[in-house]
A and B are shown apart, each in its own frame.
Chain A
């Protein structure tokens, strides 16, 4: 065997801190088009597409074709920050704009998304193409009141003070409001359940609420979520978020489970795909309608066949390809040892 022709390509390692988009083949051509012409694609059906990637990572595709990924996830580079949370890296996807609500590993993997523009912890408004993005700066949840843990336990786990005043950037959060296709879409991030009432007044009523509601109430409990929706946002469509998806989330990371109970408690649709498209007209009669992606994400997750009984078709070891004694190319020709 020619050892210079190993199956792996020659390469070298580069540790990258911070911005990596110059390594990613990112180009701003699509955004230039959006800035010049206000749109990327010509044939628009007026629909907004919402795709789910696991955790609370959602992609919003505007009618004109701009793709906005919010809160891609990763395992935090420092294991002291809550240990391993994910069994997989954030998938390869495309986007024009990547947005992060706050600096936690399950929300800030902007380096995994080859987007030519990044908005980190946005406050204020950004307008490009057919979208207006507004950031509402507030604070991260510190006392979720979910019966599993509270802020004091979190302080112990992270060894950090985690509520204002005096908390650090990790415990802040910007809610992201996307206005496109005539709809208002709010991404909650990990915001505290009680932002100031002025902030709710500024946000106003929304059409679509990408919430952090899960059955375990890791960020927002069903009770708090209902209060937020009924009293303030009056959302027509609610997406649960920040819940467990098999193959993506570590099963023992902070005890998160799914959001199916919350979904069943309300008028709901179980979405059979990783994405859903609608116009404002399509959802005009909905009131607090839960659209639940469940385990359907917009990429193929490898789910290990670890459940009993095992059904994976295992090849006998004798039939396994390759050469189990590959080192014998170096075997002396006429003796036992060199």
Chain B
């Protein structure tokens, strides 16, 4: 790697132009043109109110409670899930937000993901529907993780691969994805992604991120005898089509599949990259509709399943702000003008 000898700007929050060796033209860049200058706020964990006492406790005691021999999984919309290990460690994967610059993909969400407590925050890749770790009140965060991570009563293997490009869905072709996701960071065939394999409580749980359907063989070798596959599958095939989800879950030998990354009324904005949930995918296969936002699983409770779909539907672990727009029968009077200046 080459050393740069450029003197950086001393100004706080200064604008840094993204430089790349081969700066693309407008046309090559699909109309995005040149790179933006960034006003970088960066990490804001200093503003978190919690501290690392739970992490220290887990470091010394291997957990924060007696093992309950169960793993719980809660759904937070999009690809966001919180996995709680038997000894109480909360692992949150892929918090979402609207993009910092709406000209890149538009506004996708009607609401913010609420600030959420967790112990370990994980990001599979740096797209805004997965990387909002500033919305986590996290003890520690691992971003785009690769390697083997051992802590307390769990083990996470980050398997580094690449993001999906060609969905083979009738709607979301490569060109549509380019329009929706005009990130000028890398070549379109070359976005990064980490598949996360979480082993805890005797279960092997895979969070797919937005990985491509055809990772190399050594990735598949690590993804064998999976209990729970959390896959970004929806009826319109925004990331994985139902067909690809079937192939992938079969290939991993997944006992249970949890669909994510689908349209949820009240969270997602129509037309911003999706329109459909995963209801048809779930109901046309052996499935269970989950009544609630959290499931509790053990190796024993899953042992008879094979490629069984557990579908959260619209149940997420926070309240969705819904604005009721309806015709009013009584139009209220205007409020009286308050003479606020007289109180001064």
Contact = CB atoms under 8 A, between A and B. Distances in A.
A84 B10 CA distance: 10
Contacts of A126: 142, 145, 147-149
Given A22-B185, A27-B190, A94-B1, A118 B142 contact: yes
B15 interface: yes
B36 A89 contact: no
A254 interface: no
Given A88-B8, A94-B1, A137-B56, A23 B134 contact: no
A28 B192 contact: yes
A16 B150 CA distance: 31
Contacts of B48: 103, 168-170
Interface in B288-331: none
B333 interface: no
B192 A116 contact: yes
Name the interface size band of chain B.
35 or more
B160 interface: yes
Contacts, number: 264
Contacts of B127: 22
A174 B17 CA distance: 32
Given A26-B192, A92-B8, A299-B4, A120 B142 contact: yes
Nearest to A166: B51
Given A11-B17, A11-B34, A35-B147, A122 B43 contact: no
Contact of B46 (A28, A91, A103, A166): A103
B7 A300 contact: yes
A14 B38 CA distance: 5
B142 to A, nearest CB: 6
A100 B4 contact: no
B123 A124 contact: no
Contacts of B161: 32
A100 B51 CA distance: 15
A151 B3 CA distance: 39
Interface string A111-137: 110001111111111111100000111
Contacts of B202: none
A167 interface: yes
B45 A13 contact: no
Contacts of A301: 7
B35 A11 contact: yes
Contacts of B184: 23
A12 B37 contact: yes
Contacts of A295: none
Interface in B160-209: 160-161, 183-186, 190, 192, 194
Given A94-B1, A138-B56, A169 B50 contact: yes
Nearest to A75: B12
Contacts of B44: 17-18, 77
Interface in B129-146: 131-134, 139-146
Interface string B1-33: 111111111101111111110000000000001
A197 B1 CA distance: 40
Contacts of B18: 23-25
Given A23-B18, A91-B6, A123-B59, A169 B34 contact: no
A242 interface: no
A100 B46 CA distance: 12
Given A77-B44, A88-B7, A169 B51 contact: yes
Contacts of A302: 7
Contacts of B341: none
Contact of B126 (A19, A103, A135, A137): A19
A14 B36 CA distance: 6
B220 interface: no
B149 A89 contact: no
Contacts of B42: 16-18, 20, 74, 77, 108-112
B51 A168 contact: yes
A10 interface: yes
Contacts of B284: none
Given A25-B186, A35-B146, A35-B147, A300 B5 contact: yes
Contact of A16 (B8, B41, B159): B41
B34 A92 contact: no
Interface in A74-103: 74-79, 81, 84, 86-94, 100, 103
Contact of A117 (B34, B51, B146): B146
A118 B101 CA distance: 22
A170 B46 contact: yes
A26 B131 CA distance: 15
Contact of B6 (A11, A12, A92): A92
B37 A11 contact: yes
Contacts of A11: 17, 34-37
B140 A31 contact: no
B59 A136 contact: yes
A94 B51 CA distance: 31
Contact of B36 (A12, A29, A77, A119): A12
Contacts of A137: 52, 55-56, 59, 139-140
B14 A89 contact: yes
Given A23-B185, A92-B4, A93-B4, A119 B37 contact: no
Contact of A128 (B10, B40, B147): B147
A27 B190 CA distance: 8
Interface in A286-317: 298-302
B8 A89 contact: yes
A236 interface: no
Given A26-B192, A108-B46, A125-B151, A117 B144 contact: yes
Interface string A158-170: 0000001111111
Given A17-B100, A26-B185, A104-B46, A124 B149 contact: yes
Contacts of A129: 147
B199 to A, nearest CB: 13
6 contacts: A13-B36, A28-B146, A88-B9, A108-B46, A110-B42, A123-B58
4 A-B pairs closest in CB distance: A124-B151, A128-B147, A103-B45, A111-B42
